[in-house]
Amino acid sequence: MTGDEFVFRVKELTPTLYRICAVQLAAAADREDAVQDAIMRAWKSLPRLRDDGSFKPWLIRILINACHDIQKHHRRNISTDSVPEPPLEGASRADELKYALFTLEESLRLPVLLHYIDGYSVRETARMLGITENAVKLRLMRGRKALKRQLMEEVFEQ
Amino acid sequence: MIRSQDFIDAIGKPDPDFEKRISRTLDSVTASARPRPARRMIAYASAAAAVLAIFIAVASMMRSTGSRPDILAAPSAAMPTAIHHTATPVPSEQPAPSPAQLPEDWALFEAAYGQEIFALYPCAEFSRAEAITADQSGWYLNDHSGELLACRIMTGRLQEFDTDGEHEFVSINAVMPPYSSAVEDFMRSSPKWLQALYYNEEVVGNGLPLMHIIITLDESGQPFCCEMILGEEYQHYISWIRDETGEFVQLQSYYDVNHEYADTYFD
């Protein structure tokens, strides 16, 4: 993959990269650090990527790891930046949805985001998260239930 | 009904600072030279030429002194003689806590799965658990950060468990040692439906050793999906799913399982 292709493909993925960071990290500065770190790691490891067709799940996997690193750092330092603000009374529906997604258990949040929101297949989601397709299906089911409990409404079309 | 688009709108678009950071990072990394294969080849060729030159120099020096380099000598004891690929995951090297440190639920869990692997007991630790791995010596439960939560030394046959974080939905990944007697022992004590899946032409009949069984439970704790991986190199993958009548029907069956599948499990 050439440098130009790399740039093109990263830019093409920007909305997905942003959403992954947005549901993982509350602070804007952390999201920017995570995406920067992920791009740098990806660029450095690019010669080892055997199949260009796997670029998308590969980069997403790297970004998820970069987000985890920042979360770990926050856990060690007990940073308040890592905790999202709960929506105030009368907050918009969008704020409620965002908060519901953010506070979903992490093992459910990423599968829900990648599959239902970003439209990746169960297989692709499984590859990105390093789990089996069955585990993805189970987490999706549980994620939907958890969101429904919190938002008191059905979520996602089947 | 809340739809995907509602969440997309709620999360919002990348803010300008985020996009700027991406652009700046891309500019900086692509401006720096990445080692390209051609360049690496030249580097390797140069290195190889240098090594060869040294070898020739040493050889000619030895010849001139009457001795010669014994390049066919047996490897020294310190030299690795072979690298074995093994499907058995290497457990964490952290020291094993004594059984007394185990939570009570875990003792129940251990006692339970020796006889009935499909009954998992409620365990508070599961919410923190990322994976349970084990070898013949025991099992190890790690959380998301890799910290060891609990472990138990034992001589069990079930070797790996995978959980999605809550006990009511658990994928059990039983890594079988590639010894047929252990698999046979395991199968003898297994429920009839699992025996029926195993003892047929496609599984036991193809001669490849059974390496993994992954059984996924539904909400009521009943198995609803079963996957088997056969062959030390993961040559064959088969899965079944329970249909409306309660019977297991084959879902997938394919050869040449991608090694990534194994990597996923043993990362």
Of A15, A22, A39, the CB nearest to B25: A39
Distance CA(A19)–CA(B8), nearest Å, equals 8
Distance CA(A29)–CA(B20), nearest Å, equals 12
Residue A19 has pLDDT above 90, yes or no: yes
* In contact, A23 and A101? CB cutoff 8 Å: yes
Cα angle at A150 between A145 and A153, to 5 degrees?
70
Question: Which residue numbers in chain B have pLDDT < 50?
Answer: 34-144, 146-179, 258-267
Please judge whether B10 and A101 are an interchain contact, meaning their C-beta atoms are less than 8 angstroms apart.
yes
The pLDDT value given to residue A102: 85
pLDDT in tens, B244-260: 788 888 877 777 554 44
Interface test with B, best of A20, A23, A138 (most B CBs within 10 A): A138
Residue A125 has pLDDT above 70, yes or no: yes
pLDDT in tens, A22-80: 988 888 888 999 999 889 888 887 876 767 777 888 888 888 888 887 877 776 554 44
Interface test with A, best of B5, B13, B29 (most A CBs within 10 A): B29
Beta carbons within 8 Å of A25's beta carbon, 6+ residues apart = A31, A34, A67, A70, A71, A82
| A28 contacts chain B (CB < 8 A) | yes
Of A39, A106, A155, the CB nearest to B26: A39
What values do phi and psi take at A123, rounded to 5? Answer: -65, -45
Distance CA(B132)–CA(B165), nearest Å, equals 11
What pTM was estimated for this model as a whole?
Answer: 0.47
